[in-house]
Structure 1
């Protein structure tokens, strides 16, 4: 059995992250919840993928900024038209690429910052591991 992966992260702005990851990146909203033991949350991903991202906000708490330029989520697009469409979708929603801290990611991809300052790389390459 292959385990499924959930990447969980706190935020101060669920709506801004929904706009970035669902409308911009093109992930699907898989589930959202309100006031579950004091937390609101949003899960995004693809229904058939073995991963999803969870963002939570706790009532009355402010999350301190934590990201660095090397906190990355990398999405691999082996086919150029799919990569080009993903980049165009982010740009159409008002997101512009930022220079990658590690120049490796600029060779075959573009890096975007989400509303919390974490970086997402759209890499135009196959994942060959």
Structure 2
């Protein structure tokens, strides 16, 4: 069995779900797919695009501090090879109130723009195809 056709969920904790929502929903344009409150002492939200084979889950555990990203090189990279789609994605982030940050690895600044979420995790909008 391979994972070739698996759906992927990227899950991570946060201390403030409400602070993350504008970044991922308004800035990156993800939809809220599901939310839950007080499920075995966890609150959470799943964000993505309906029908896409991936989504992100952010959870808060009652009474537990998640803290910030351990480094500036914890990245989610979205490859947007079409110049117009790339420019629109960057503009959407800026319009939502998020400013680019200098990438920890200069490679990402050559053809991309990096943004940092409220927890210190970073998202790169990369204006190339994967593997390029």
Instruction: Tell me if both proteins adopt one fold, taking TM over 0.5 as the criterion.
Output: yes
Gaps of 5+ in 2: none
TM-score by length of 1: 0.95
Cα shift at 1:18: 0.8
Q: Deviations over 1:52-78 (max 9, x none)?
A: 110000112221223311100001111
Q: What residue number does 2:41 align with?
A: 38
Q: What residue number does 2:123 align with?
A: 120
Distance 2:106 2:53 in 1: 29
TM-score by length of 2: 0.92
Aligned residue for 1:18, secondary structure, equals: helix
1:24 aligns with 2:37: no
What is the root-mean-square deviation in Å for CA atoms of aligned residues?
1.3
1:64 aligns with 2:54: no
Paired residues for 1:6-17 under 5 Å: 6-17=9-20
Paired residues for 1:103-114 under 5 Å: 103-114=106-117
Matched residue count: 129
Q: Deviations over 1:10-33 (max 9, x none)?
A: 001101111100001111111111
Q: Is the 8 A contact 2:20 2:117 kept in 1?
A: yes
Cα shift at 1:93: 1.2
Q: What residue number does 2:95 align with?
A: 92
